[in-house]
């Protein structure tokens, strides 16, 4: 089998495409790791001071002096005065109303 210039070019282009694809996957994996680390590192506990919903229905909540977006909660599930608790190294957010556990959400 004779190796021609055309075959060498095709092999080089294929190798470069595989390398670029692997680098893109690595970057994507790093982004997901950073995202999950930021979720796991977040901790809050307190009552909802401000609450409004985006056009898509996601609640934007202010607890203390920090704001959070909760894409996992459906429209009108959260109310002003509800308490939300999330512990470090946990994906779960607990919602309390009048000191009674109403719902547990998984933040992903």
59 and 84 fall within a common domain: yes
Range of the domain at 34: 1-41
What mean pLDDT do residues 28-39 have?
69
63 and 53 fall within a common domain: yes
Please count the CA atoms within 13 angstroms of the CA of 57 that sit on its side-chain side: 6
50 and 93 fall within a common domain: yes
Q: Which pLDDT band, with edges at 50, 70 and 90, does 36 fall under?
A: low
Number of structural domains (the chain) is 2
Q: Is the pLDDT of residue 107 over 80?
A: no
Cα–Cα distance list, 38 to 4, 33, 45, 108 (Å):
52, 9, 17, 11
62 and 21 fall within a common domain: no
pLDDT of residue 86: 87
Better-predicted residue by pLDDT, 17 or 40:
17
pTM exceeds 0.75 for this model: no
pLDDT of residue 2: 67
CA-closest candidate to residue 70, choices 78, 42, 43: 78
């Amino acid at each position: 089998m004779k190796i021609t210039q055309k075959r060498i070019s095709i092999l080089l282009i294929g190798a470069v495409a595989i390398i670029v694809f692997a680098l893109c996957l690595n970057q994507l994996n790093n982004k997901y790791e950073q995202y999950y680390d930021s979720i796991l590192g977040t901790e809050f506990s307190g009552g909802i001071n401000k609450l409004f919903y985006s056009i898509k229905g996601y609640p934007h909540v202010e607890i203390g002096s920090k704001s959070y977006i909760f894409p996992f909660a459906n429209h009108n599930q959260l109310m002003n005065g509800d308490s939300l608790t999330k512990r470090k190294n946990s994906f779960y957010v607990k919602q309390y109303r009048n000191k009674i556990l109403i719902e547990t959400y998984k933040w992903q």
